[in-house]
Amino acid sequence: MEIRASKLVVQNLRKSFRSQRSEESIQVFEGISFAVHPSEFISLVGPSGCGKTTFLRILDGLIPHDDGEILLDGKTVIKPGPDKGFVFQESSLLPWRTVMDNVILGLELQGVDNSAARKKAERYIALVGLAGFEHHYPHELSGGMQQRVNLARALIVDPQVLLMDEPFASLDAQTREIMQAELLKMWNHTKKTVIFVTHQIEEAIYLSDRVVVFSARPARIREIVKVDIPRPRSLSVKRSKEFLDLADHVWDIIQEEVLKSMGREREEGVL
Amino acid sequence: MKSVAKKAPLLPAWLRSSRMIAACSVIIGIAIWQLGYEGLARTYYFKAYAINHFFASPWQVIQTFGELYRSGELLRHCYFSFLEFVYGFSLAIVVGIPIGFLMAVHKKINYYLDPWVSCIYATPTVALAPIIMVWFGLGIFPNSLVVFLGAVFPILLNTYTGIKSVRENLINVVRAFGGSPLQVFFKVMIPDATPAIIVGLRLAVGRAVISVAVAELFGSEAGLGFMVYFYSQRFLPGPVFVGIVVLVVFGILSFLALEKIQSWLSPWYTYQLQRQVYRMEVE
């Protein structure tokens, strides 16, 4: 019943890597299950190296998982495709392509007619606030502008779900705040379902309806924190008591996990 | 704070540009050569040691150039050498790029070919030229083979490193949007490896020009290398220097042409030079 109403369902997902030094396999995460409603904004946070990015890539079908199931609109995810839009970390634009040619990439790969693709791209470039920069190359843009292109490139394929992998991690604090606010505006406009990976707790809370907190490796879901701050949220929300309490709560969990994993590493002689 | 009055530069800006300085340097060098020769010609030693059989002044080189050009001899040699260069270099591209690519994407192929590539690359072409002459006789074909051997390895090895250093995250981008392996190849691997391949071509041009000269020294009926050898045996320095200068100019021109091709094919690349491109230059 719950599965019907959900956009994206993750059931009992498990992933392990084979260690290069020894033959034993390393558990990245196990028993990950949650369901995402249509148009919901979900963030994933957790201690560094807990496998958030791996998890997101598995959701996209870029890398295989060992066990469990991913259902997007009730269909099993096997491989990447235009039903999922992926926003990568910094410098993932093709440097030999202009803004325009980068944005139409997804349509081009599907074999959409070039002039139709360009027309559509103009709309999306304008949506992310880059009208007039169509013929610039990525190296001519600032980090923030590059990530806008990155976003437009993911939105243009009209995906069912938007997967974002620390898209603002490399931006300076000011630009990041502006991009967060703009992302919310765009989300409001497009009503996409978003899975957003970040290591920034306040970013996660500011953007999301729910924040999924991962434990240290092998990762499990420690808690799913509901963010009941009404929308639209202005940037000043970040100073409200409600917001700060939530941030403290998430931070406590993560700190606990970090300490736990440090203790384990000390035992294993890593540290 | 004390303000320091700036001194006006001695020369106007257009005279201080890097190109201008480079041009002046060359002109001064040639002038010293000319004046030195003229000075020497007025001394006792010039006649006593028959220096005009060993050296020529720039002016004499220009005059000889004119004579050789008018008689058609120079063009005949140029044509011969040019053909060798084109045949050898084209073959090096046709062979070097695919093999470099295969070695980069296929581990097994790399294991099999790597020792051979290393061995033949380390072998000086100069040492191989005589035996190639023995096998195939004199003519354009064996000489082109020497040029091929000289040029193929920088192309092959740079293609290999170029493909190896294609950025994983860019491949993932195309895959994430549903790109097929073929699309990954044409839309990421080729463009991302292009700058490195062109660096290989640029290194190969220099080696190819050397190989042209070397092959013709060992045995040939025509060509610039042959011309240099032929006239040096007859103690006629004028045509010797003409041959050398033409070879140098040809080398520089093809190098510059490839530089242009690079900025035309990959304008984005100059901004990414920070990224390490391994320049494989041995010898």
Interface predicted TM-score of the whole assembly (ipTM), two decimals: 0.83
B260 pLDDT more than 50: yes
Chain A residue closest in CA terms to B167: A92
Report field, pTM of the whole predicted structure over 0.80: no
CA B134, B135, B139, B145 torsion-angle sign:
negative
pLDDT band at A198 (very low <50, low <70, confident <90, very high): very high
pLDDT at B50: 81
B272 pLDDT more than 70: no
pLDDT at A270: 54
Taking an 8 Å cut-off on Cβ atoms, the answer to whether B176 and A60 are in contact is yes
CB pairs under 8 A between A and B: 61
Q: What is the pLDDT averaged over residues B4-26?
A: 78
Q: What is the pLDDT averaged over residues A155-173?
A: 90
Residue A153's nearest CA partner among A209, A113, A109, A216 is: A109
> What percent of chain B shows pLDDT beyond 90?
55
B188 pLDDT more than 90: yes
Contact (CB, 8 A) for A225 and A211 = yes
One-letter amino acid of B150: G
What are the tens digits of pLDDT across the range A211-223?
999 988 888 898 9
A177 pLDDT more than 50: yes
The residues, any chain, with a CB within 8 Å of residue B158's CB and separated by 6 or more, are: B100, B196, B197, B199, B200, B201, B203, B277, B278, B280
Taking an 8 Å cut-off on Cβ atoms, the answer to whether A92 and B169 are in contact is yes
Would you say residue A120 lies in a domain?
no
Q: How many domains does chain A have?
A: 1
Taking an 8 Å cut-off on Cβ atoms, the answer to whether A88 and B172 are in contact is yes
Nearest by CB to B176, which of A80, A95, A96? A80
Would you say residue A245 lies in a domain?
yes
B46 pLDDT more than 60: yes
Would you say residue A138 lies in a domain?
no
Task: Enumerate residues 167 to 206 of chain B having a beta carbon within 8 A of any beta carbon in chain A.
Answer: 169-170, 172-179, 183, 187-188, 191-192
**Is the Cβ of B279 closer than 8 Å to some Cβ of chain A?**
no
3-class secondary structure per residue, chain A? CHHHHCCEEEEEEEEEEECCCCCCEEEEEEEEEEEECCCCEEEEECCCCCCHHHHHHHHHCCCCCCEEEEEECCEECCCCCCCEEEECCCCCCCCCCCHHHHHCHHHHHHCCCHHHHHHHHHHHHHHCCCCCCCCCCHHHCCHHHHHHHHHHHHHCCCCCEEEEECCCCCCCHHHHHHHHHHHHHHHHHHCCEEEEECCCHHHHHHHCCEEEEECCCCECEEEEEECCCCCCCCHHHHHCHHHHHHHHHHHHHHHHHHHHHHHHHHHHCCC
Taking an 8 Å cut-off on Cβ atoms, the answer to whether A139 and B268 are in contact is yes
pLDDT at B282: 36
B269 CA: distance to closest CA in chain A (Å): 8
Which residues in chain A touch residue B183, judged by CB atoms under 8 angstroms apart?
Answer: 109
pLDDT at A268: 66
Taking an 8 Å cut-off on Cβ atoms, the answer to whether B175 and A80 are in contact is yes
Unique residue bearing structure tokens 């806008």: A148
Would you say residue A108 lies in a domain?
no
Q: Which of A92, A104, A109 to mutate to test the interface with B (most CBs of B within 10 A)?
A: A109
Residue A64's nearest CA partner among A80, A83, A88, A46 is: A80
Taking an 8 Å cut-off on Cβ atoms, the answer to whether B173 and A110 are in contact is no
One-letter amino acid of B212: V
- Facing residues of A226 across strands? A210
- CA B104-B108-B111 angle, to 5 degrees, is 80
Nearest by CB to B268, which of A88, A92, A137? A137
Would you say residue A140 lies in a domain?
no
Taking an 8 Å cut-off on Cβ atoms, the answer to whether A94 and B178 are in contact is no
Taking an 8 Å cut-off on Cβ atoms, the answer to whether B266 and A96 are in contact is yes
pLDDT at B3: 57
What are the tens digits of pLDDT across the range A28-87?
888 888 999 999 999 999 888 788 889 999 999 988 888 888 989 888 888 888 889 899
Taking an 8 Å cut-off on Cβ atoms, the answer to whether B178 and A110 are in contact is yes
CA B50, B54, B56, B60 torsion-angle sign:
positive
Would you say residue A90 lies in a domain?
no
pLDDT at B279: 38
Taking an 8 Å cut-off on Cβ atoms, the answer to whether A94 and B172 are in contact is no
Would you say residue A121 lies in a domain?
no
Which residues in chain A touch residue B271, judged by CB atoms under 8 angstroms apart?
Answer: 95, 139
Residues of the domain holding A27:
2-83+159-268
- Domains delineated in chain B: 26-41+55-64 (no CATH), 72-272 (1.10.3720.10)
pLDDT winner (highest mean) among A141-155, B83-97, B176-190: B83-97
pLDDT at A210: 94
pLDDT at B274: 41
Q: What is the pLDDT averaged over residues B85-109?
A: 94
Which residues in chain A touch residue B178, judged by CB atoms under 8 angstroms apart?
Answer: 79-82, 106, 109-110
CATH code for position A67: 3.40.50.300
Q: What is the pLDDT averaged over residues B40-59?
A: 85
Would you say residue A6 lies in a domain?
yes
Q: How many residues does chain B have?
A: 283
B64 pLDDT more than 90: yes
Contact (CB, 8 A) for A59 and A163 = yes
